[in-house]
A and B are shown apart, each in its own frame.
Chain A
Amino acid sequence: MTAPLDVSGQAMEAQPEAVLEGAGGKAIEGRSLGQIAWMRLKRDKAAFVGAFVVVFLTLIAIFAERPFGGLIALFGDPPNLPNNDLIDPMTSAPLGTWGGMSLEHPFGLEPVNGRDLFARILSGAQISLLVAFLATLVSVVIGSLLGVLAGFFGGWVDTLISRLMDVFLAFPLLLFAIAIVGAVPDKALGLSGNGLRVAVIVFIIGFFNWPYIARIVRGQTLSLREREFVDAARSLGAGNGYIIFREVFPNLVAPILVYSTLLIPSNILFEAALSFLGVGVAEPQASWGGMLTRAVDYYQIAPHFMIVPGLAIFVTVMAFNLLGDGLRDALDPRAR
């Protein structure tokens, strides 16, 4: 088993610990698994900070442009509005110190055209998080379904799905993504422009990342299906469908949740990489990777233009990773 993460699915039946924690004042009371995990998570400060940042960013992305122009309208210029008056025409750099940072433009201005970086970071956050969440959802749905089927039925089903995973894992994803996004027409499937591009990117990232999650789920399922409670259910006459969804699947929720949280940051990075290479969403829609590409030409005269989106990516990825690690620790104490 070569899962990228050593997430173990046995967290759910680690029963005895539940009793230890509560041995305080009141009568001893059984605790649910969720309560235990929550308690452990609360004690993990790094994870808590991560969770806080994740929630914060998600809210920002949701309310960036809606309702009524959202946060961007509240705090400054629209993301695509040029401010040529605030640019030194001779050098192309923003006027003022720190790349034109001020109360109106807290993150400074883009060189050459003077677009407000604060608005563009927020606008870019929508794209990054939207792509990352949707792509992760696609991977998780496909991956858990196929993983469970492969693990549970074994035999030729397992062989077929496992080889399929190998094929997908061997795919040169980045090259494929560049080729596909470059070849996508302007209008297809009832979508057009950036809507279509986001859909294509989500599809590519999501559709090619499912084997990682499927492998983990398959491994867990392999061990779960031999367990007594599965035998018990079977001896009571339960069918395969019932066993998979009522007996096995609940035990897979924890590893899937942990893995999803850790998949999101890698998807954010992937989206940024695509945008950096010029095959992400199209200008003038802001994206963090796209901003970094632009910044390369001006890093000597306007370093802030590289630092700001760079930090945005860094903080987001870091937060998701902290949260993911915390979740894993909380849900699976033995993996510590």
Chain B
Amino acid sequence: MVTEQHDRSLEVVDIPINMGPQHPSTHGVFRMVLVLDGEVCKDVIPHIGYMHRGGEKLMEAMDFRQGIGYCDRTEYLAQFSAELGYVMAVERLMELEIPDRAEYIRVILTELNRLSSHFMFMGAFGIDAGVFATSFTYAFPQREYIQELFEEVTGDRLMYAYFRVGGLAWEVTDNFVQRVHEVLVHTRQGLRDLDELLTKNEIFMVRCQGIGAFTADQAIAYGLSGPMLRASGVPWDLRKDDPYSVYDRFTFEIPVGNHGDVYDRYLVRLEEMRQSVNIIEQALEQLPAEGPIVAEKLPRRLRTPPGEVYSKVEAPRGEWGVYLVSKGGDKPYRLKMRSPSFCNLSALREMCIGQFMADAVMILGSMDIVLCDVDR
């Protein structure tokens, strides 16, 4: 007896898998749908907006001092950079001269903030890479020393609101310079620890090298900025290419990567931290011992002349820009924040396609996004 021959080939379908919004390696409330063929990503559909609070619109109803608090809450790992961008926009509209001492203190605090932000990246990235808590426990005590210094100076651990239009809110503490030196000792030790632990570790290297690679042209086309762009080999740093504040008075180098992959982004950030330490040391030497910290003739109620301005700073994640339109008065008419996390995140799909599912976590981790910054 002859049995009927069936076509036994299986039908193959791509499986969509949901990741997030509550997931430890999405670094916040970020949801992405991974369309998988076996273990390989065919498509990535990101969903953002879980953290959207309408910060830009809210700030239209705030006067220029009240708005500073909302900058902190947008970029909550690099608050000083966010404040600086906003404050600089208003200062440019009002054409204020900032005293030197205030500028130096701003630079020192902003660079310390870059260190603390990158320490956060180092810790979280190690977890993404499978080093588990070891890198986290190395990075966090050192970050804590910086945080304590910020607390002593500004009074708050996270939402500093210390940079004000025209200068600073208060004078720094008396032992500020000595305290920064103390903190830098710990920072250098933390850098050595992380370098020894991760950089040359073969397992870590195999895990990171060659995934999520972006060429320089691709990176520019996607509008990437910060370490993401520099890892692809474009030496673009606003501190050098469009100097703001007093950055033109320091000598430092811009680290660039060769391959633009996840490993290069890690290396660029590590080197950037060393350069930050370098900048802080120079700034501490040049810091005027005395002097005003607030611009002269600052009115009690801040009012800007009508006009528009775009000010940008090099935040730890890239170009943080504030576009401010004023029609006169004490409130902005329109305020737009150009956040680096959002622009960097736009490249996620392109980077993930063709990579393994486990590598998608690494690629997202290497972007070092802040979800409040993405959604605003």
Partners in one complex: no
